[in-house]
Amino acid sequence: MSYRIIDKESYYRKGVFRHFTEDCKCSVSMTARLDVTGLVAFSRATHTKFYINFLYLLAKALNSRDDYKMGYLWQTNELICYDKINPTQYVFHEDTETCSPVYTEYCEDYRRFYERALSDLEAAKQSREYALDTENHPNWFDASYISWLSYDALHLELPDGYLHFAPIVNWGRYREENGRLMMPVSVRLNHAIADGYLVAKVFRLLEQEIIRFTKQ
C-alpha cells in the first residue's frame, strides 16, 4: 500500500473539503439502474460469474480517478490519495444466514483478478467469522451484492463527523425492463471529497467500462 499526501491549500476542492469536514459533515449517496444486458450475455457466453465480472469493472472504474481513492489519516490530520484501492467483497453463508468479508486485491489484468476473486471467495466459504481488518486494509472499499432484491433505493448511514472517504457500493438483482436487464447500483461517498457530479460520474464510468469490456 502506498499513497501521496494531498496539500489541502492547493487541493482543487479546498473550499468544499473545509466546509464538509468542519461545518456540515455529511455524505452523498445515489441509486441508479445500470443496463447490464451486455455483461450478462458476456458472462453466460464465457461461463464466468457475472458477480465477479461486475466487481472487476467496479474496481477498475473507481481506480481510474483519484477522487475515489482518497483517504484520511486521523493521527496526523492528513488528506491522502492511495495509488490503488481494492474491493472488500462478501460471501453469504446460507446455513447461518451470515456473511464474511473477503479481501481481494485489484489488478487491471482481468484474468488475474478473476482468479484471485474466485479463490478468495472459495476460501472464505470455509469461515463463519465477520473478520473485518480495517487496520491492515486501509485502502479497501466496501463492495456488497444484495442478491435477494432488485431494489429502488438504498441509503447507508455513518456516524456524524466520521471522515470515511472510501467508496461504499451496493448492487442488487437485475431485472428485465423493456427488453433490457437493469440492475440497481448504490454509491455512497463522503461529501468532503465528492459531490453529486462525482457520485454520478461513477455510474457513467461503469457504463463505459461495461461497453468496452463486452466488446473486447
Range of the domain at 79: 3-214
- Tell which residue, 113, 121, 139, 123, has the closest CA to residue 53: 113
Q: What is the CATH number of the domain that holds 154?
A: 3.30.559.10
Q: Note the pLDDT of residue 124.
A: 87
Which range in 25-29, 72-76, 80-84 is most confidently predicted, on average pLDDT? 80-84
Q: Which residue has the higher pLDDT, 181 or 125?
A: 181
Cβ proximity of 206 and 61 under 8 Å: yes
Cβ proximity of 70 and 80 under 8 Å: yes
End-to-end CA distance of the chain: 30
Mean pLDDT value of segment 119-125 = 90
The number of distinct structural domains making up the chain is 1
In this structure, of 83-87, 101-105, 130-134, 207-211, the range with the lowest mean pLDDT score is 130-134
* Model confidence band, residue 125 (pLDDT cutoffs 50, 70, 90): confident
- Tell which residue, 210, 200, 176, has the closest CA to residue 31: 200
| 9-30 residue pLDDT tens | 999 999 999 999 999 999 999 9
Q: Note the pLDDT of residue 127.
A: 79
Integer angstrom CA distances of residue 47 from 13, 51, 176: 44, 12, 21
Q: Note the pLDDT of residue 131.
A: 74
* Model confidence band, residue 160 (pLDDT cutoffs 50, 70, 90): low
CA pair distance 53, 49, nearest whole angstrom: 6
Q: Which residue has the higher pLDDT, 115 or 134?
A: 115
